[in-house]
């Protein structure tokens, strides 16, 4: 049986975290080589884990379930740029290493001291839902006691240009024609049992691939990136009311139902 | 719970440089024959030094439909083999209860290199735009799910080189926790410009054929291919009288957070992943006929694995198969799981192709000749960039 998910911390970020935002949590100098996509989700993780009262993450039994819609787009492009500009013999190994999805997982694991199960999901808009399912699986199989569900999305000028022409395409970032594309990130600390920090409980988390959009009283919401999904969930949590979130994008159906958790 | 209640492998499919079916690939693992050549026509390389790779045969690749990537095409071919072996058509399964989990590394990344080059020169064609839109419309696992008419959950695992093992382990858990009756899982990857250049520039690729765990090992060769496994619960196996090719009994995963591209030399994360997989399976190291190692033939990988094996799997024979498949990245764990099941089911453990000289620093000698095995269980592990480690415990078809 799949467990309920108790949300003990939830934070979303629009835009980039500034170096001073990290000062309460760590030595900022350790971030000097980090990509924004990793720094943003790290800041969200610090805040979510703080809410979850998990300050000493290295001794906590934590896992990581990371969602990245299209991976580290900036590093991917940097690496391809380096091949085009400098030739393959001088292409950047650092950009290649940073372009791998796992580089962000490593960043979280290393700086938070997490040594538990870790899976990265890379499937466009449906990444967040699958990351929640993975967290549920980690907990159901007792692979850890809590899971950091982390979501982070990058900007990309090629996609921004295409988005101008076709607003329906997948875009991991916030795009407004008059403004530069904006990154999004988020983090949830979840467990399968309530803790003193539990704020919400999710009864239903489901992801399916169906054209059967059953119309019920709750309207469908259309999203276009996994970070948007996380931000949407965060907005529901902030209302502190029971909710049913039903999203669809290109046949992907995500349903999350939850309610505020009342501490005994 | 008896083994017959466990998650079984109803069918499996595989194509890689040493064969285009599980049987052919295993024969290649025994004979050492594989397509190891320069990726001419696939990758534009200006290197004076030549870096060969392990390729799927051109005879197979030429049938790829224009609207599919090689990663998609490989996985569909492997999946068809899996369904055929299982003895069921995809549309006979209850669509809402069938999940799809696929590990990959190239497909989930925006490595649209030709499109990007055109865009940089402001020469984006209508074909480029259509290709990009197609890529962005449907992620890999969802595309496969729709291809076969399934409506259950889907997941594209992008944990780099551990993705294939993670996909199999997560699929097992999806069934055990009641999320699905059946899961089509595995991994797929293709030779592409970015990983080809990237591994060369990280100085871990070699110009020679790789030599896992050998004193003279000089690095990795990347490869391509796919493997698909149809995992089912016992009720589904019984209801449809499906074939049984083995069992997926345990899954473990642990990150070590050590370095962007190298494993922790103490292998703490890998040890924990192996320990968890064994505990999850209810088996011990003594039950294992062998471990199919990640065995990339990089200095750091083989060293870390030797530390973990000495501690967690002492006296368990170590088999490295990348000397015939190459390092197929996101597909590696899945291809190796299929080869491991073939080994268990034929009672035959191949030699580690490429290994010639013992490395005293490793204190590990992999299989040096073909052996007959009687134990009915095996472990397969994977290590990935970013310190992600995963392992699965497999059972032979007659292990029940």
Q: Report the residue of chain A nearest B117, measured CA to CA.
A: A84
**pLDDT at residue A215, rounded to an integer:** 46
Share of chain B above pLDDT 90, in %: 86
**pLDDT at residue B4, rounded to an integer:** 64
Q: What is the pLDDT along chain A (264 residues), one digit of tens a residue?
A: 788 999 999 999 989 999 999 999 999 999 988 999 999 999 999 999 999 999 888 888 999 999 998 889 999 999 999 999 999 999 999 999 999 999 999 999 999 999 999 999 999 888 988 999 999 999 999 999 999 999 999 888 888 888 778 777 777 777 666 777 888 899 999 999 999 999 999 998 888 887 555 544 455 555 556 677 778 788 888 888 888 887 776 677 888 889 999 999
- Is the sign of the CA dihedral B269, B271, B274, B278 positive or negative? negative
Provide mean pLDDT across the span B340-362: 98
How, if at all, do strands A221-222 and A243-249 pair?
parallel
Model-level pTM greater than 0.90?
yes
Query: B3-395 maps to which CATH number?
Result: 3.40.47.10
Provide mean pLDDT across the span B321-349: 98
Share of chain B above pLDDT 70, in %: 99
Q: CB B260 to CB A2 under 8 A?
A: no
**pLDDT at residue A175, rounded to an integer:** 67
Q: CB A115 to CB B120 under 8 A?
A: no
B300 at A interface, C-beta within 8 A: no
B204/B261 Cα distance (integer angstroms): 10
Question: Which one-letter DSSP state was computed for residue B85?
Answer: H
How, if at all, do strands B377-384 and B288-293 pair?
parallel
Residues 379-398 of B with CB under 8 A from A: 384-388
Contacts of A98 in chain B (CB under 8 A): 260
Contacts of A83 in chain B (CB under 8 A): 113, 193-194, 197
Residues 93-152 of B with CB under 8 A from A: 96, 100, 105, 108-111, 113, 115-117, 119-120, 129, 132-133, 136-142, 145-146, 150-152
Q: CB B202 to CB A165 under 8 A?
A: no
Q: Report the residue of chain A nearest B145, measured CA to CA.
A: A209
Q: What distance lies between CA B74 and its chain's CA centroid?
A: 13
Q: CB B133 to CB A166 under 8 A?
A: yes
Task: Give the minimum alpha-carbon distance from A116 to chain B in angstroms, rounded to a whole number.
Answer: 5
Task: Provide the mean pLDDT of chain B.
Answer: 95
Task: Give the minimum alpha-carbon distance from B358 to chain A in angstroms, rounded to a whole number.
Answer: 31
pLDDT per residue as tens digits for the range B288-323: 999 999 999 999 999 999 999 999 999 999 999 999
pLDDT per residue as tens digits for the range B13-68: 999 999 999 999 999 999 999 999 999 988 988 888 889 999 999 999 999 999 89
pLDDT per residue as tens digits for the range B77-107: 999 999 999 999 999 999 889 999 999 999 9
A-B contacts at Cβ under 8 angstroms = 236
**pLDDT at residue A235, rounded to an integer:** 83
Task: Give the minimum alpha-carbon distance from A143 to chain B in angstroms, rounded to a whole number.
Answer: 8
ipTM of the modeled complex: 0.96
Of A70, A100, A141, the CB nearest to B385: A100
More confident position, A124 or B205? B205
Q: CB B105 to CB A100 under 8 A?
A: yes
C-alpha angle A79-A80-A83 in degrees, rounded to nearest 5: 90
Of B151, B179, B260, the CB nearest to A209: B151
Provide mean pLDDT across the span B246-254: 98
Domains and CATH numbers, chain A: 5-199 (3.40.47.10)
Assess whether pLDDT exceeds 90 at residue B137. Answer: no
Contacts of A105 in chain B (CB under 8 A): 159, 255, 386, 388
Q: CB B151 to CB A208 under 8 A?
A: yes
Q: CB B158 to CB A121 under 8 A?
A: yes
Q: CB B268 to CB A103 under 8 A?
A: no
Q: CB B257 to CB A250 under 8 A?
A: no
Q: CB B156 to CB A84 under 8 A?
A: no
**pLDDT at residue A53, rounded to an integer:** 96
Task: Give the minimum alpha-carbon distance from A46 to chain B in angstroms, rounded to a whole number.
Answer: 17
B258 at A interface, C-beta within 8 A: yes
Task: Give the minimum alpha-carbon distance from A12 to chain B in angstroms, rounded to a whole number.
Answer: 22
Q: CB B254 to CB A130 under 8 A?
A: no
3-state secondary structure chain A: CCCCEEEEEEEEEECCCCHHHHCCCCCHHHHCCCCHHHHHHHHHHHHHHHHCCCCCCCCCCEEEEEECCCCCHHHHHHHHHHHHHHCHHHCCHHHHHHHCCHHHHHHHHHHHCCCCCEEEECCHHHHHHHHHHHHHHHHHCCCCCEEEEEEEECCCHHHHHHHHHCCCCCCCCECCCCCCCECEEEEEEEECCCCCCCCEEEEEEEEEECCCCCCCCCCCEECCCHHHHHHHHHHHHHHCCCEEEEEEECCEEEEEEEEECCCC
Q: CB A2 to CB B178 under 8 A?
A: yes
**pLDDT at residue A216, rounded to an integer:** 46
- Tell me the DSSP string of B12-57: EEEEETTBSSHHHHHHHHHH----EE--TTTS----SS---EE---
B277 at A interface, C-beta within 8 A: no
Q: Where are the domains of chain B?
A: 3-395
B315 at A interface, C-beta within 8 A: no
**pLDDT at residue A217, rounded to an integer:** 47
More confident position, B285 or B137? B285
Task: Give the minimum alpha-carbon distance from A158 to chain B in angstroms, rounded to a whole number.
Answer: 7
pLDDT tier at B2, thresholds 50, 70, 90: low
Task: Give the minimum alpha-carbon distance from B153 to chain A in angstroms, rounded to a whole number.
Answer: 4
B interface test, pick of A99, A120, A131 with most B CB neighbours within 10 Å = A120
Of A106, A122, A169, the CB nearest to B386: A106
Q: Report the residue of chain B nearest A144, measured CA to CA.
A: B254
**pLDDT at residue A166, rounded to an integer:** 78
Contacts of A116 in chain B (CB under 8 A): 254-255
Angle B126-137/A157-165 helices, nearest 10 degrees? 100
A interface test, pick of B109, B149, B161, B174 with most A CB neighbours within 10 Å = B109
């Amino acid at each position: 049986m799949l467990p309920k998910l108790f949300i003990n911390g939830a934070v979303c970020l629009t835009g980039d975290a500034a170096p001073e935002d990290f000062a309460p949590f760590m030595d900022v100098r350790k971030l000097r080589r980090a990509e924004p996509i990793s720094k943003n989700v790290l800041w969200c993780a610090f805040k979510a884990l703080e809410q979850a009262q998990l300050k000493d993450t290295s001794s906590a039994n934590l896992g990581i379930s990371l969602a990245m819609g299209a991976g580290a787009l900036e590093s991917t492009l940097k690496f391809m740029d380096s091949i085009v500009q400098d030739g393959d013999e001088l292409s950047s190994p650092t950009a290649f290493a940073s372009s791998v999805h796992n580089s962000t997982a490593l960043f979280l694991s290393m700086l938070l001291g997490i040594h538990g199960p870790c899976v990265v999901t890379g499937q466009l808009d449906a990444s967040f839902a699958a990351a929640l399912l993975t967290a549920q699986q980690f907990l159901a199989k007792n692979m850890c006691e809590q899971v950091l569900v982390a979501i982070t999305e990058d900007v990309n000028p090629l996609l921004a240009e295409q988005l101008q022409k076709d607003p329906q395409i997948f875009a991991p970032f916030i795009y407004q024609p008059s403004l530069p594309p904006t990154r999004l990130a988020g983090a949830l600390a979840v467990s399968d049992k309530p803790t003193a920090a539990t704020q919400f409980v999710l009864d239903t988390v489901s992801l399916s691939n169906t054209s059967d959009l059953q119309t019920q009283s709750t309207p469908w919401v259309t999203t276009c990136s996994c970070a948007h999904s996380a931000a949407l969930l965060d907005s529901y949590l902030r209302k502190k009311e029971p909710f049913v979130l039903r999203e669809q994008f290109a046949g992907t159906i995500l349903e999350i139902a939850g309610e505020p958790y009342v501490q005994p | 719970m008896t083994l017959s209640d466990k998650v079984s492998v109803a069918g499996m499919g595989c194509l890689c440089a040493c064969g285009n079916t599980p049987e052919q690939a295993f024969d290649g693992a025994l004979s050492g024959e594989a397509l190891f050549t320069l990726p001419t026509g696939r990758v534009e390389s200006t290197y004076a030094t030549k870096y060969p790779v392990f390729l799927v045969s051109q005879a197979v690749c030429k049938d790829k439909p224009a609207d599919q990537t090689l990663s998609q095409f490989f996985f569909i071919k492997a999946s068809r083999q899996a369904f055929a072996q299982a003895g069921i058509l995809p549309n006979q399964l209850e669509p809402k209860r069938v999940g799809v989990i696929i590990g990959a590394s190239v497909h989930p990344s925006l490595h649209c290199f030709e499109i990007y080059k055109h865009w940089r020169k402001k020469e984006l064609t209508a074909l480029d735009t259509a290709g990009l839109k197609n890529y962005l419309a449907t992620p890999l696992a969802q595309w496969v799910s729709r291809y076969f008419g399934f409506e259950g959950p889907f997941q594209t695992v992008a944990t780099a080189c551990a993705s294939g093992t993670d996909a199999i382990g997560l699929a097992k858990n999806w069934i055990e926790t009641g999320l699905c009756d059946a899961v089509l899982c595995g991994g797929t990857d293709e030779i592409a410009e970015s990983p080809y250049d990237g591994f060369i520039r990280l100085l871990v690729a070699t110009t020679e054929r790789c030599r896992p765990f050998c004193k003279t090992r000089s690095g990795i060769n990347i490869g391509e291919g796919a493997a698909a496994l149809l995992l089912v619960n016992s009720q589904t196996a019984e209801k449809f009288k499906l074939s049984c090719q083995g069992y997926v009994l345990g899954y473990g995963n642990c990150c070590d957070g050590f370095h962007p591209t190298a494993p922790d030399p103490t292998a703490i994360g890998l040890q924990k992943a192996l320990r968890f997989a064994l505990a999850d399976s209810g088996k011990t190291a003594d039950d294992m006929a062998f471990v199919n190692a990640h065995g990339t033939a990089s200095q750091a990988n083989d060293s870390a694995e030797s530390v973990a094996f000495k501690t967690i799997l002492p006296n368990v024979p170590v088999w490295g198969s990348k000397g015939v498949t190459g390092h197929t990245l996101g597909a590696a764990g899945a291809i190796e799981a299929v080869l491991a099941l073939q080994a268990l089911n034929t009672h035959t453990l191949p030699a580690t192709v490429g290994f010639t000289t013992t490395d005293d620093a490793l204190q590990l000698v992999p299989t040096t000749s073909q052996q007959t095995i009687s134990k009915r269980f095996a472990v397969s592990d994977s290590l990935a960039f970013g310190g992600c480690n995963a392992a699965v415990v497999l059972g032979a078809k007659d292990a029940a």
